Amino acid sequence: MSYEHELQVLDPATEEVVATVPAASREDVRAAVARAAKAQAEWAALAPGDRARLLRRFAAAVDGHVEELARLEVREAGHTLGNARWEAGNVRDLLDYAAGGVERLTGRQIPVPGGIDVTFLEPLGVVGVIAPWNFPMPIAAWGTAPALAAGNAVLLKPAETTPLTALRLAGLALEAGLPEHLFQVLPGEGPVAGDALVEHPGVAKIVFTGSTAVGRQVLAKGSAHLKRVTLELGGKSPNIVFADADLAAAATSAPMSFLDNAGQDCCARTRILVQRSVYDDFLALLAPAVESVRVGDPADESTDMGPLISAAQRERVRSYVDPDAEGIRGKAPEGPGFWFPPTVLTGVEPHARVAVEEVFGPVAVVLPFEDEAEAVRLADDTPYGLSGSIWTRDVGRALRVSRAVRAGNLSVNSHSSVRYWTPFGGFKQSGIGRELGPDALTAFTETKNVFISTVSTEGPAQ
CA distance 239 to 440: 28
| Nearest Cα residue to 376 out of 247, 240, 254, 235 | 240
CA distance 419 to 396: 25
Judging by DSSP bridges, how do beta strands 126-130 and 205-209 pair with one another?
A: parallel
Q: Angle 41-43-46 (CA atoms, 0-180°, nearest 5)?
A: 110
Helix or strand (DSSP H, E) at 445: strand 445-453
CA distance 255 to 362: 9
Within 8 A by CB and 6+ apart from 315, the residues are: none
Answer for the pair 155, 146: CB distance below 8 angstroms, yes or no.
no
Task: Identify the active-site residue in 73, 76, 160, 232.
Answer: 232
- Give catalytic status of residue 232 as yes or no: yes
List Cα–Cα distances, 72 to 23, 97, 170, 361, in angstroms. Answer: 19, 24, 14, 22
First to last CA, the chain: 63
Answer for the pair 406, 381: CB distance below 8 angstroms, yes or no.
no
HSE-up of 339 (CA within 13 Å, CB side)?
Answer: 17
CA distance 14 to 161: 14
Answer for the pair 354, 365: CB distance below 8 angstroms, yes or no.
yes
By annotation, the residues acting in catalysis are: 232
